[in-house]
Amino acid sequence: LAKTTQPISMDSYEGQEVNITCSHNNIATNDYITWYQQFPSQGPRFIIQGYKTKVTNEVASLFIPADRKSSTLSLPRVSLSDTAVYYCLVPGKSGGGADGLTFGKGTHLIIQP
Amino acid sequence: EAEVAQSPRYKITEKSQAVAFWCDPISGHATLYWYRQILGQGPELLVQFQDESVVDDSQLPKDRFSAERLKGVDSTLKIQPAELGDSAMYLCASSPWRGRSPDNEQFFGPGTRLTVL
């Protein structure tokens, strides 16, 4: 079972770059790494997904080293509205349905003025 | 932009009563998921449908929970009887993919907040 480990909470300030690292030591060869964002009283929202090296979109960047045992979500120049819970997902062999995607507790990111 | 719809948004009920939640996925999405999220925890998958078929319900407490997606479009999740421990957010998500896909993005609805008294 590919289990993920990420910090329970982080805090930063407006305008800073925030990096959230997730470890997934048992990731399978063909599996992608997916990150979701969740605001209070809302459903999670897909942020970014990657397989290796670096992926960038309009919201974030995802850095994945060659061994793929970890990944880092990078949020550039955060604002107060980036305060949310961020989940790192990697498919596993059990749980998470046919897709194997299981949400852990996530990282609660708090951005201060 | 198409969205997943859920109703009701909030539901308060007494224990031993029956409750039902409804979800309308994004049009054309083959896969539908029901999750339960307890406060402070991540979403936990209860059941996954592909079209009208259940592909995984291993985490669904079948003694009291049931789910259906009769025509492969909208879906209903029912709890009977409700227990105090069922208080949670119930989230529905959909995906255009069938089967396991590496880029299987799930689109979530706003959820139904259930409080059991």
CB B79 within 8 A of CB B87: no
The CATH number of residue B75's host domain is 2.60.40.10
Domains of chain A: 9-112 (2.60.40.10)
Chain B residues touching chain A at CB-CB below 8 Å: 4, 33, 35, 40-45, 47-48, 50, 55-56, 58-59, 89, 91-93, 95, 99-111, 113
Sign of the C-alpha dihedral computed for residues A40, B107, B7 and B52 taken in this order: negative
pLDDT 10s digits, B53-106: 999 999 999 999 999 998 989 999 999 999 999 999 999 999 988 766 656 789
Would you say how long chain A is, in residues? Answer: 113
Instruction: Please give the residue of chain B at the shortest CA–CA distance from A42.
Output: B110
Give dist(CA A107, CA B114) in Å, integer: 24
Sign of the C-alpha dihedral computed for residues A107, A111, B2 and B7 taken in this order: positive
CB A10 within 8 A of CB A109: yes
The beta-carbon neighbor of A87 closest among B42, B91, B102 is: B42
Total of domains in chain B: 1
pLDDT 10s digits, A25-80: 988 888 889 999 999 989 999 999 999 999 999 999 999 999 999 999 999 999 99
Pick the more confident residue, A99 or B28: B28
Tokens coding B33: 């998921």
* Domain around B38: 5-98+107-116
Indicate yes or no: CB of B56 within 8 angstroms of CB of A102: no
User: What does the DSSP assignment read for A75-109?
Assistant: ESS--GGG-EEEEEE---SSSSGGGT----S-EEE
pLDDT of residue B100: 63
